[in-house]
Every structure is written in C-alpha cells, then in structure tokens.
C-alpha cells in the first residue's frame, strides 16, 4: 500500500517547499499509504457492491463513556504564538472503556474576527500518520483564508498513535535507513527473501515497541475520538476539513454520527468500499496518470532529462531505475547512503503529489542521470519519509502501516500472490507498477490481525457533505471521489480538472470560492460543479 496521506496544499495552505502526504513505505512507505484490491463486485463507480454499510452508532451516549464526553479541556500555551494546546482522554478500547486511556494531543487557534462565531473547524492533512497538530500550527492555522480563521476556532487533534498522541514506535533511524533502501523490485529468490525480511523486521519492531496500542489505532476508533473532542469543545455538530486519508476519517465520522455532521469537506477522497489490493492497484494507475501529465510537461521544458517525446519519458525513467538497481550512485549523504532504485522511485513519486515540484524533479533527475549526483532525489525521498539531517524519522510511516494494516485485510498474503498480480500492476503503470505491487505485501507480516473490512458509507440523515476530487490526482484517483459521493446520501461532488493531490488551497479560485462559501454560509456547491 502506498501512502494514503495528503501533501500539504501548495498555495495559501501549504509550506513553501513541496510536501507530500501519505501512501506506504515510500516504496515501502508508498504502498502503505494506499489500499487497493480487485473485486469482482465492483460497480460502475468503482465501489464494491457486496460491501456492507457502516452502521451508525446509537445517538445516546453509553454510560461508560460519559466521563470522556463530560471532560473539560485544560488549555495552555503551546510555545507557538497564537496557539493553545490541551490533552484529550479517550478509551483505549471502546469495547472495554474501563481498561485504560489514550491521551490525545489537541491544539487550537481561536477565531480572530468579531463576526458571528461558527464554532470549531477541525482539520486533518491525511496519512494515516500525518500530524494534524503540526499541520495546524505550521500551515492551516495561519494559511487558511482570513475569513475562515475569523469565524472559526481552528482545531486539530493528532489521531491515536500519531505524532504527539502516544505515537506508534517501530524502528530506530539506522534501521529505517536500511528499510527505505530495500529493493522493492526483487529479481530473484534471494532479493525476495531480503524484502520479506525487511517487512518482517519492521512489523516485529512495531509489535515489540507498541504492542498494546497496535490493536487500537483503527480509523473507526479515531473517528469516535473526534466525537469526544467535539463534545469537549462544546460543539453540537462537527465541522471538518479532511484531505486524502483525512477524507476516510471524516466520512467514517459521518457514517457513525450522521446526526452530528456539521459542514464537512472531504478533499482528495478515498473509497471505503474497496479492499486493499484494489486500492493499491487504483493508486498505481493514479500515479501513472500523474506521471504522464508530468511527462507531457517535461518534454516542453529545456531542461527535461528524459527525452524530447512524451511517449519516451516513461521508458527512459524505467531504464534509469534499472541502472540504479544494479549500481547505486553517490549522494554526498553524511550517513553514506547511496541512491538506489527504491529511494529514487520514492523521490519521483513524492514529486507527483504537486505539480509545483516538477521543476525540482527535473533538476534532481538531471543531476542524477547526467552527473551521477543523487542528492536531489534523496532530498525528495527524505521529505516524503519525514527524515531529517540527523537520521531521525517522524513516526509517520509507523502510524501509517499500523492504521492501514488494522483497517483492512492485507492486499497480498505471500510473494507468490504478488508475482501473480505483477502483470496487472505493470499494466496499470509500466514505470511504478512492479514496485507498488511488492510494496503492497507489507501488511502480510503484521503482528495484529485486522479489525476492519471494506464497507460503504451512506451517513443517512447527515447534513450536506462536500466531496472534492481532482481529475489527475496521483494518490486518490478521481474515481474514488465519484464513488464516495455516490455512497453518501447527502453528498455534493466538486470536481477540479487539474493535476496534483487535493484541490482546496492549491490555486484554483473556483474551488476555493465554492468551499469557502460552504464553510461560511453552508451553501453547498451546485450538483455536478466543475472547476478548471
């Protein structure tokens, strides 16, 4: 599974440099962030006809949960000007709420205007594994439109197992360096054994260091935590903007608590009805779509190192990857890392999330292909993995795998199953297919059995929900937005005809105006609205 997270939006809501969101282990992580599987029951919109509907929870609060719903947040300074922080308690196990708590990090920036307050607006950047608190403090809390920040208290909570909320732990920096360099396109039995060994070591590390938590980091549990936060904030309904995996989290909330839905924006939507293999296969095709768009642009630039014809770009890049597989190149890295096929592929995929990174990718590829300097592609890969210069990794990839492997049964159970599926994945993407197929094997060795299954989310009775899809989105293909919108009974689909992952705050005045009108006035976009 590739990373199912969303990069920070690129314009007013994003950092100055390219930032990617989640999918799997980049290749190892890349696969983790996505989930896909072919199903004979797929309908015209890509949903699984046989998938059960996520049932809503009872409207009344169970007595055993009353202490959690009645808690008061003790706000304190975060050390970040303008922001406050607090700790929210939630039950580790909702089935046994008396056995222990998880402590969740919450942050907010209070509304700055004098107009009528609209309550809280919860934001989540995706993942699973992306820090919502970090996103709020660095980007959303200062970069969302001023009129939104004036009327809403901007709020974020790191989901259980993520960042500041009792993070899942798996490997140290040195072991993660080895993991991210593992060959994800094995050519023989020995290379296959090494890849399986890397997956096993990763899983065993998570099991040894986060045993109890691994059983309780599902998306359903995180959505239930959000309802406790809603109550603690004093809001009758939840207002929410979620990107990428954050759409799955937000849709899950709507399915569980349809009567408590306020204004929900699901940007870069996922389809919850699909099994892991289909999710990964769809995402593989999504990256191919984005790569072809990059290829068409690249050959029009004077510094494109991949040829003069768009049809040649993929083959030339694949040939370059094969050279790196046989002979990695220097990067100047202080820890001695060289650029092999896995890190290079991750670097290229990272740049597919935002067309604003294409110039950086061309420069990095030129250096690597013509000067045998892999520093540029390594930097893109490190950004994707959230690795700093001191060889320290955030817990992004750990939480990503933990949530994905709990939410759905594994895409593949053995190397033989991957080999059988290779033609299908390589057809979906001649450049990335093989690596993404093998990356989808990671959950096969997970120490905890999955608790989730593919399901449809209808959220009957919910207020209007805005689902946003980008036609050439690499990580969350447009068909997923159409599928989710078809499932949600009160959805309005907003389509952005463009490139990159997610749409809000990335430069389309049409998209931004539609979402701002919805958040400020409750005016959902017209049915079938499209923005160029």
First-to-final CA distance of the chain: 30
CB-based contact 439:473 (threshold 8 Å): no
HSE-CB at 338 with a 13 A cutoff on CA atoms is 11
**Separation CA 312–CA 317 (nearest Å):** 9
CB-based contact 73:233 (threshold 8 Å): yes
**Separation CA 113–CA 147 (nearest Å):** 8
HSE-CB at 209 with a 13 A cutoff on CA atoms is 18
Active site residue ranges = 244, 473, 501
Token pair 């292909």 in the structure block, residue: 369
Instruction: Write the CB contacts of 280 (distance below 8 Å, at least 6 apart in sequence).
Output: 1, 2, 31, 34, 35, 36, 37, 411, 425, 436, 437, 439, 440
**Separation CA 385–CA 379 (nearest Å):** 10
Token pair 């650029």 in the structure block, residue: 339
**Separation CA 271–CA 455 (nearest Å):** 9
Q: Which two three-digit tokens encode residue 170?
A: 């798996």
């Amino acid at each position: 599974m590739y990373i199912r997270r969303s990069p920070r939006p690129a314009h007013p809501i994003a950092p100055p440099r390219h930032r990617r969101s989640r999918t799997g282990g980049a290749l190892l992580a890349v696969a983790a962030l996505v989930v896909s599987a072919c199903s004979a029951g797929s309908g015209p919109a890509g949903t699984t006809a046989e998938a059960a509907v996520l049932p809503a929870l009872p409207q009344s609060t169970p007595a055993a949960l009353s202490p959690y719903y009645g808690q008061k947040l003790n706000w304190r300074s975060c050390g970040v000007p303008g922001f406050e922080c607090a700790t929210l308690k939630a039950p580790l196990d909702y089935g046994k709420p008396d056995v222990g708590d998880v402590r969740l990090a919450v942050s907010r920036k209070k509304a700055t205007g004098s107009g009528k307050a609209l309550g809280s607006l919860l934001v989540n950047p995706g993942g699973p594994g992306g820090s919502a608190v970090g996103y709020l403090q660095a980007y959303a809390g200062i970069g969302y439109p001023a009129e939104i920040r004036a009327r809403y208290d901007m709020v974020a909570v790191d989901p259980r197992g993520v960042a500041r909320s009792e993070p899942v732990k798996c490997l140290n920096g040195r072991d993660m360096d080895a993991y991210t360099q593992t060959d994800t396109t094995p050519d023989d039995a020995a290379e296959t054994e090494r890849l399986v060994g890397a997956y096993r070591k990763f899983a065993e590390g998570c099991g040894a260091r986060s045993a109890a938590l691994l059983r309780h980091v599902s998306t359903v549990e995180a959505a239930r935590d959000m309802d406790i936060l809603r109550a603690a904030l004093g809001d009758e309904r939840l207002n929410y903007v979620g990107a990428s995996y954050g759409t799955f989290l937000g849709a899950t909330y709507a399915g569980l608590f349809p009567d408590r839905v306020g204004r929900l924006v699901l940007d870069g939507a996922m389809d919850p009805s699909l099994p892991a293999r289909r999710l990964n296969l769809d995402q593989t095709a999504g990256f191919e779509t984005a790569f072809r768009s990059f290829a068409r642009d690249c050959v029009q630039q004077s510094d494109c190192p991949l040829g003069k014809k768009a049809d040649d770009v993929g083959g030339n890049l694949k040939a370059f990857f094969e050279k790196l597989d046989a002979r990695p190149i220097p990067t100047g890295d202080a820890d001695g890392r060289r650029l092999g096929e896995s890190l290079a592929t991750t670097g290229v995929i990272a740049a597919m999330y935002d067309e604003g990174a294409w110039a950086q990718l061309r420069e990095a590829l030129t250096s690597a292909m013509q000067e045998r300097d892999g520093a540029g592609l390594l930097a893109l890969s490190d950004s994707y993995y959230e690795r700093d210069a001191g060889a320290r990794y955030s817990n992004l990839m750990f939480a990503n795998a933990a949530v994905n492997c709990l939410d759905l049964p594994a895409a593949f159970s053995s190397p033989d199953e991957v080999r059988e599926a290779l033609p299908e994945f390589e057809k979906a993407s001649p450049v990335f297919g093989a690596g993404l197929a093998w990356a989808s094997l990671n959950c096969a060795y997970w120490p905890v059995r999955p608790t989730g299954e593919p399901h449809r989310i209808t959220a009957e009775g919910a207020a209007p929900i805005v689902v946003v899809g980008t036609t050439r989105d690499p990580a969350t293909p447009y068909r997923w937005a159409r599928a989710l919108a078809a499932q949600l009974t009160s959805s309005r689909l907003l389509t952005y005809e463009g490139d990159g992952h997610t749409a809000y705050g990335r430069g389309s005045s049409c998209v931004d105006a539609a979402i701002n009108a919805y958040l400020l006035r409750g005016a959902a976009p017209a049915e079938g609205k499209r923005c160029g």
